[in-house]
């Protein structure tokens, strides 16, 4: 995006409508691929971790913001024959809309992460309380997400360890 907005490619694409259409389709395709990666499973069938999703969004937000701010303070019009105020307005709109979109998706991923973590915790608690990990015997052990949880029955307090 920076290569498009901060180089003569923007002015060239406005003069050649076919090029502008190609660039628009490119931005839509890249955006769809970026955001579809959040729901797509990895090669081994495991969904991408919430940490990966969150980090990818956090990595992209400053880049979009930087392009918007650069356009908002650009010293001359990006396209010959347009007003400098149009370039500045476009920069501010890009800056604010990218932050709103990134913040919305970050919030959604965070809520999904919390709900999933809560659901897993409740499931482990129910399994430990029922003794289901050892066929009904006390001393159940449950492993998952790099954490082993064991319980010797009610009142033992259980113990948690990381391998």
What confidence tens digit (pLDDT) does each residue in 61-70 have? Answer: 888 888 889 9
Minimum mean pLDDT range among 25-34, 67-76, 104-113, 148-157: 148-157
Give the model's confidence band at 93: pLDDT under 50 very low, under 70 low, under 90 confident, else very high.
Answer: very high
pLDDT at site 39: 57
> What is the arithmetic mean of pLDDT over 23-32?
83
Q: How far apart are CA 146 and CA 8, in angstroms?
A: 51
Residues 140, 129: Cα–Cα separation, whole Å: 9
> Which pLDDT does position 101 carry in this prediction?
86
Q: Which of 105, 154, 91, 96 is nearest to 125 (CA)?
A: 154
How high is the pLDDT of residue 3? Answer: 80
Residues 6+ apart with CB under 8 A from 126: 132
User: How far, CA to CA in Å, does 61 sit from each of 86, 90, 135, 147?
Assistant: 23, 17, 48, 32
Entry pTM: 0.60
Cβ–Cβ contacts within 10 Å for residue 41, how many? 9
**Arithmetic mean of pLDDT, 4-32:** 83
Question: Which whole-number Å values give the CA distances from 40 to 43, 45, 47, 48, in the listed order?
Answer: 9, 9, 7, 7
Tell me the pLDDT band of 96, cut-offs 50, 70 and 90: very high
Q: Helix H segments across the chain?
A: 2-5, 9-15, 17-36, 50-72, 84-130
Q: Give backbone dihedrals phi and psi of 109, rounded to 5 degrees, phi first.
A: -65, -40
Task: Evaluate if residue 85 carries a pLDDT over 90.
Answer: yes
Listed ranges 15-29, 90-104, 143-157; the one with the highest mean pLDDT: 90-104
Q: How far is residue 62 from each of residues 66, 87, 103, measured CA to CA in Å?
A: 6, 20, 12
Question: Residue 132 to residues 72, 137, 152, 158, 160: CA-CA distances in angstroms?
Answer: 60, 7, 12, 15, 17
């Amino acid at each position: 995006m920076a290569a498009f907005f901060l180089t003569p490619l923007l002015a060239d694409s406005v003069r050649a409508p076919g090029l502008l259409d190609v660039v628009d389709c490119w931005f839509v395709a890249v955006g769809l691929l970026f955001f579809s990666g959040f729901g797509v499973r990895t090669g081994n069938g495991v969904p991408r971790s919430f940490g990966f999703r969150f980090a990818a969004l956090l990595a992209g937000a400053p880049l979009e913001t930087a392009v918007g701010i650069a356009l908002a303070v650009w010293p001359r019009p990006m396209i010959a024959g347009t007003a400098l105020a149009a370039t500045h307005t476009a920069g501010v709109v890009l800056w604010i809309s990218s932050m709103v979109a990134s913040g919305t998706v970050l919030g959604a991923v965070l809520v999904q992460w919390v709900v999933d973590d809560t659901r897993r915790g409740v499931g482990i608690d129910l399994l430990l309380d029922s003794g289901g990990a050892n066929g009904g015997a006390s001393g159940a052990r449950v492993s998952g997400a790099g954490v082993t949880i064991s319980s010797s029955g009610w009142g033992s307090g259980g113990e948690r360890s990381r391998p």
